[in-house]
Amino acid sequence: MQTDPPASEAVRTTRPLNHGDTALKTQIPSVDISQPPTKASSSARRKWVIVLLCALVVLGGVWVAWRRHRNASSLAAAARKETPAVTVVAGMAARKDVPIYLDGLGTVQAFNTVTVHVRVDGELKKVAFVEGQTVHVGDLLAQIDPAPYQAALGQSLAKKGQDEASLNLQRVELKREATLLAAKIDSQDTYDQVAAQVKELEAAVTADEAAIDNTRVQLAYTTLTSPIDGRVGIRLVDVGNIVHATDSNGLVVITQLHPISVIFTLPEQTLSEIQQSQTAGDLGVLAVAGDNGKVLDSGSLAVIDNEIDSTTGTIRLKANFPNRDLQLWPGQFVNTRLLLTTRTNGIVVPASVIQRGPAGPYAFVIEDDLSVKIQPVKVAQTEDGQALIDEGLQPGQRVVVDGQYKLQVGSHVRLGGQAKADGGGAGADAPSP
């Protein structure tokens, strides 16, 4: 039976020690290999091996994470170094008095409109106006054949003369009967009959005078004159036609263009603001062309309608305009701008500063280090290239006017120009170095 060699004869493997062996000696406990391994020593050795392997895994994970972080930081630094600054045009938020308008849609309406109708029957003998002519009160427009009415006037005058002659004769007869009655020669009945005839003839003369007046009126109606100052339209009846007082269509339409009115609507929610502003005085109104935004005329608010249209939720208003240059024409559609108030020292920026996003309007604000940030803003109105800011910006802040399409949060910019602070167009006033 073979026996284990004695400990003194056991084979031992030796190797030169280097400087790393010292560390291993300090970490791994020494094991006396001269003694045969026991079950307890084998278990302890396995535990230490497992601990060592776990430590190596942890150290390897930490080293890998550190390397990845270092590489990411290097790449980000390189990217920042390689990304050039974006050239933009800068502007500045400024304070300014800004008018506040309420915008509506309106229709131009003549200040006065008259359809000239004939008032007597007859042949239209003359048209004295030219289509499109400006006329004044009393100017001749047309003439209807007056001959029948002149003849009727002559008959009325003759009838009156006849009745006056009979009346004079009866008055003389009445005086004679009064003398005879006083002398008791004639009876009271005869006197009363003559007195009644005098009364009858007096009534006839009065009726004749009324008939004469009526005939003169009819004769005057054969001459048509302008009742207002205005401009005549297209002639509706030609010379030679027989016209009647009962005709539905008139002879011509006259419209007064100086002044002129505009009827426009605004949401009912603005009524209280308008009434409150009216207490300070008359409110100005601008009439603006719908195609190019040109101001056609300026006037003042004249009337607020006495009821709200429940079907549309709007209130009708009427404004009057002098219309000296005839820029407004009856039936024309225009945009109206009611000057509600003027905001003193409002914050304004160029309109191009305001950008639109899913969360609403915002602006790119330039920081002191020439980086940009997104600043949400609340815009009250945009007018004449200016945006009036309610919230989000302060006077003196630099904002990006042009070049926003290349920007994102944290981008650095290079100022290629400076826009005007009052919200006007951008100009390269001061290029940055």
* Strand partners of residue 361: 356
> In the prediction, which pLDDT does 5 show?
47
What integer pLDDT is reported at residue 17 of this predicted model?
Answer: 44
Tokens coding 430: 């001061």
Domains and CATH numbers, the chain: 86-96+345-427 (2.40.420.20), 102-111+257-343 (2.40.30.170), 114-140+228-256 (2.40.50.100), 146-221 (1.10.287.470)
Dihedral angle of Cα 388, 393, 396, 400, to the nearest 10 degrees: -80
The string of DSSP letters for 345-389 reads EEEEEEGGG-EEETTEEEEEEE-TTSBEEEEE-EEEEEETTEEEE
Residue-wise pLDDT tens for the chain (433 aa)?
444 444 444 444 444 444 444 443 444 444 454 555 555 667 777 777 788 888 888 887 787 877 777 776 665 555 555 567 888 899 999 999 999 999 999 999 999 999 999 999 999 999 999 999 999 999 999 999 999 999 999 999 999 999 889 889 888 888 887 887 787 777 888 888 888 988 999 999 999 999 999 999 999 999 999 999 999 999 999 999 999 999 999 999 999 999 999 999 999 999 999 999 988 888 999 999 988 789 999 999 999 999 999 999 999 999 999 999 999 999 999 999 999 988 889 999 999 999 998 989 999 999 988 888 999 999 988 888 889 999 999 999 999 999 888 888 888 888 876 665 444 443 333 333 3
Name the residue type at position 353.
V
The whole-number pLDDT of residue 323 equals 95
pLDDT confidence of residue 430 = 36
Q: What is the pLDDT of residue 79?
A: 52
Alpha carbon separation from 340 to 95, 284, 318, 343 (Å, rounded): 20, 8, 15, 10
Contact 380, 102 (CB under 8 A): no
Query: Which residues are bridge partners to 317 per DSSP?
Result: 264, 304
pLDDT for residue 37: 55
State the Cα–Cα distance between residues 424 and 92, nearest whole angstrom: 11
Q: Could you tell me whether strands 86-92 and 295-309 are parallel, antiparallel, or unpaired per DSSP bridges?
A: unpaired
> Residues 265, 316: contact at Cβ < 8 Å?
yes
